[in-house]
Amino acid sequence: MSSFTKAFSSTLGKKLIMGLTGLFLALFLVVHLIGNLQLFKDDGGKAFNEYSYFMTHFMPIKIISYLLYASIVLHAVYALILTLGNKKARTVGYAQYNGAANSTWSSRNMGILGTILLIFIVIHMKTFWAEYHWGGLPYIKYETNLSDASDVKVTPLPYEGKQLVHSQYVDTQNGTEVVVAKDLYKIVNEAFSQPWYVALYVLSMIAMGFHLYHGFQSGFQTLGFDHSKYKPLIDFLGLWVFSIIIPALFAAMPLYFLFK
């Protein structure tokens, strides 16, 4: 066995993989959130559908997406390996009051929180990602007045056996910018109109907040960034940005569609 293999098969190596994949997933959340904020635009889904096309067709983003899928799998697998390893090594369980005194609730329940998130990710990808790629989504046409960007005509395009593709051009005769796109916004609207799905989404975002509260700080600690110089900033980002603001904004999306 090479020294490289030994290093990453050790407990520290496994924690390093957990930290790196976890921080990469946290960074992806920021990018994903910025794109999904397009859902709040009152434009019939134009900005969001254009964002969806960009994320699935721009080659650098496609390459990063494969890294994302691999990171999700590695993060889940190594979390399971470390959890089972810790239980096997611990011949006598810690006293409950000891655990509560020396660790946070989120750190003691990372396995449960991670399981909730993994189930959510599978459902979420089936509902949106798989539907976008293989679900035969309808197309929609947006005609935006070049002299008044708020004037947008939205026309659903029935399939009717035609091979439609994403397109964007300027119709000089009518003075409009025309965008034809897959209508993922329609699927989002339908999913977020179901109370059970909204409840699952909000619950998962709460779980994500607690998961990130411990995981964000733990990831930087594993990488050696636990110096007193950096810790206040890491603690601030971990608590306010990744544990509260980002999950809250994600949770606001289904609630917005459900009650608007």
Domain holding 132, by residue range, is 3-137+186-259
Q: For the chain, how many structural domains are there in total?
A: 2
The region of weakest confidence among 94-108, 219-233, 243-257 is 94-108
Question: Are 45 and 170 found together in one domain?
Answer: no
Question: Are 68 and 81 found together in one domain?
Answer: yes
Q: Evaluate whether 177 touches 80 at the Cβ level (below 8 Å).
A: no
Question: Measured between alpha carbons, how far is 124 from 130 in angstroms, rounded to an integer?
Answer: 9
Residue holding tokens 């959890």? 83
Question: Measured between alpha carbons, how far is 152 from 141 in angstroms, rounded to an integer?
Answer: 10
Question: Are 168 and 219 found together in one domain?
Answer: no
Dihedral pair phi/psi, residue 205, rounded to 5°: -70, -35
Beta-strand pair 139-145/148-157: antiparallel
Question: Are 145 and 71 found together in one domain?
Answer: no
Mean pLDDT computed over every residue of the chain = 86
Question: pTM score > 0.75 for this model?
Answer: yes
Confidence (pLDDT) at 170: 95
Q: Evaluate whether 107 touches 94 at the Cβ level (below 8 Å).
A: no
Q: Of the residues 167, 182, 197, which one is the last residue of a structural domain? A: 182
Question: Measured between alpha carbons, how far is 28 from 212 in angstroms, rounded to an integer?
Answer: 13
Question: Are 58 and 160 found together in one domain?
Answer: no
| Residue 256, number of CB atoms within 10 A of its CB | 13
Confidence (pLDDT) at 12: 76
> Which of the two residues, 259 and 95, has the higher pLDDT score?
259
Residue holding tokens 């390893």? 85
Distances (CA, A) of 203 to 37, 209, 216: 19, 10, 19
- The model's confidence at residue 256, banded by pLDDT at 50, 70 and 90, is very high
Question: Are 72 and 159 found together in one domain?
Answer: no
Question: Are 249 and 153 found together in one domain?
Answer: no
pLDDT of residue 225 exceeding 80, the answer is no
- The model's confidence at residue 97, banded by pLDDT at 50, 70 and 90, is very low
Dihedral pair phi/psi, residue 237, rounded to 5°: -65, -40
What confidence tens digit (pLDDT) does each residue in 100-124 have? 555 677 777 788 888 999 999 999 9
CATH number at residue 56: 1.20.1300.10
What confidence tens digit (pLDDT) does each residue in 183-201 have? 999 999 999 999 999 999 9
- The model's confidence at residue 160, banded by pLDDT at 50, 70 and 90, is low
Confidence (pLDDT) at 8: 56
Give me the mean pLDDT over the 118-143 stretch.
93
Q: Please enumerate, as own/partner, the contacts of 211-214 that have beta carbons within 8 Å and a separation of 24 or more.
A: 211/106, 211/110, 211/113, 211/114, 211/117, 212/26, 212/238, 212/242, 212/243, 212/246, 212/247, 213/104, 213/106, 213/238, 213/239, 213/242, 213/243, 214/104, 214/106, 214/107, 214/110
Classify the phi-psi angles of 157: left when phi > 0, otherwise alpha if psi is within -120 to 50, otherwise beta: beta
What confidence tens digit (pLDDT) does each residue in 57-72 have? 999 988 988 899 999 9
Question: Are 13 and 129 found together in one domain?
Answer: yes
Question: Are 63 and 74 found together in one domain?
Answer: yes
Q: Of the residues 120, 154, 182, which one is the last residue of a structural domain? A: 182
Confidence (pLDDT) at 79: 83
Question: Are 74 and 112 found together in one domain?
Answer: yes
Task: Give the amino acid at 225.
Answer: F
Question: Are 161 and 63 found together in one domain?
Answer: no
Q: What percent of the chain has pLDDT over 70?
A: 88
Confidence (pLDDT) at 89: 66
Dihedral pair phi/psi, residue 177, rounded to 5°: -100, 130
Largest CA-CA distance found in the chain, in angstroms, rounded: 79
Confidence (pLDDT) at 161: 47
Q: Is 78 helix (H, G, I), strand (E, B) or coil?
A: helix
Question: Are 177 and 191 found together in one domain?
Answer: no
